[in-house]
A and B are shown apart, each in its own frame.
Chain A
C-alpha cells in the first residue's frame, strides 16, 4: 500500500476507476499536528462503501480516530459509522445506511453538485492512511 502524501494536513485525491454508473475515488491523507485532515470534494450519487487502510509503524494513526463525510447540509453521510476507527493493519469497510446516503440524487445532485467535506480527526500528529470511496451515480437495488 502506498501512502502518497508527505505534507501534513493534505488529502490527495485520485479517480481510480470511472465506469460512468459508478466511480472509485481514493484519498491519501496525512494529518496535521492536531490530528486533523480535511478536504473538500464533489461527488454525484450515493456513497456505497468506504474502505479505510491505515499506515503502520511510525505513520500509524492513533486508535479510535474519527472519519466523517459531511454533505452540504453538514450531515455525516457515514451516519456515524466512522467514529472510533481502528488503527489495525487490516482494511475496514463501512457501508453507510440507506437513510443517510449522501444526497438526493434525483434533484440536488445533478443540479447543484454540492460540495462534500472529508474530515479526519483524532488521528495523531502527521499520521497517514488511505480511503477508497465507492460512489454510485444511480443505484438500482438488485431485487433483494
Chain B
C-alpha cells in the first residue's frame, strides 16, 4: 500500500554549482524511499529571467518544494504537461525569492476530498523571475499503483 505520508520533507541541500552557467538547467532523479521518486530541477535563468527544463515523469505528483537563491522580485514556476497545463495547479506563482516554498498538489474531486494528480510523460518546467534568481525545484512523485493491465487503447 502506497502511503503519501512516506514522503520525506527533509530540507533541500542547495547545489546550484552543478548548474554552473546562466541559462542552464539540470535534472537529477533520486529515490529517497521505496515508491517515491524525487525529480530535482536546478536552473539559472538567462538575462530575461527565464529558464526551462524537460522532465519525464510517471506516477502521482504528490508535492513539491522550491528553493531559490538571489533575486529581488517575485518568481513563478510552472510544470506543464503535454498540452501545456500546469500540473502544480498554480501552486508556485508570485512567490518571494529566498524562502523555501513547499506544498502538496491536490485536485478537488468533490465530497471524497482532494487527491494528488497523475503525471505521465514529458513535462516542461518553466521558471520565470528576476534574472539573478537561481532555482532548485523538487517534484515528489509516488509510483503508479498496481501491476500492468492489458488494455486495447483507442478504437475509432
Within 8 Å of chain A (Cβ to Cβ): is B11? no
Within 8 Å of chain B (Cβ to Cβ): is A132? yes
Q: Once the chains bind, are A93 and B85 in contact (CB under 8 Å)?
A: yes
Q: Once the chains bind, are A143 and B5 in contact (CB under 8 Å)?
A: yes
Within 8 Å of chain A (Cβ to Cβ): is B34? no
Within 8 Å of chain A (Cβ to Cβ): is B112? yes
B141 to chain A, nearest CB (A): 11
Q: Once the chains bind, are B110 and A99 in contact (CB under 8 Å)?
A: yes
Given A24-B120, A24-B121: A91 in contact with B153 (beta carbons within 8 A): no
Contact with A along B122-156 (1 / 0, CB 8 A): 00000000000000000000101111111111111
Within 8 Å of chain A (Cβ to Cβ): is B4? yes
Within 8 Å of chain B (Cβ to Cβ): is A72? no
Contact of A49 among B106, B117, B144, B152 (CB under 8 A): B117
Q: Once the chains bind, are B1 and A51 in contact (CB under 8 Å)?
A: no
Identify the stretch in A29-37, A39-47, A63-71 within 8 Å (CB) of chain B at 4 or more residues: A39-47
Q: Once the chains bind, are B153 and A140 in contact (CB under 8 Å)?
A: no
Given the complex of chains A and B, what is the CA–CA distance between A51 and B118 in angstroms? 12
Contact with A along B64-97 (1 / 0, CB 8 A): 0000000000000000011111100100000000
Within 8 Å of chain B (Cβ to Cβ): is A96? yes
A97 to chain B, nearest CB (A): 4
Given A1-B83, A1-B84, A42-B155: A96 in contact with B109 (beta carbons within 8 A): yes
- When C-beta atoms are compared, the residue in chain B nearest to A14 turns out to be B154
Residues of B within 8 A of A142 (CB): 2-4, 60, 62, 115-116, 142
| Total B residues in contact with A, Cβ cutoff 8 Å | 44
Enumerate A87-113 residues with CB–CB distance to B below 8 Å: 91, 93, 95-99, 110, 113
Contact with B along A109-139 (1 / 0, CB 8 A): 0100101000000000000001010101111
Residues of A within 8 A of B89 (CB): 93
Among B2, B3, B5, B145, the one with the most A-chain Cβ atoms within 10 Å of its Cβ is: B145
Residues of B within 8 A of A45 (CB): 149, 151
- When C-beta atoms are compared, the residue in chain A nearest to B80 turns out to be A91
15 pairs, A vs B, C-beta closer than 8 Å: A16-B82, A20-B148, A41-B155, A42-B153, A51-B83, A53-B84, A95-B108, A97-B109, A98-B110, A98-B112, A99-B111, A136-B118, A136-B144, A142-B3, A142-B60
Name 7 extra pairs, CB < 8 A, besides A45-B149, A138-B149. Answer: A13-B154, A20-B147, A24-B121, A115-B155, A134-B120, A142-B4, A142-B60
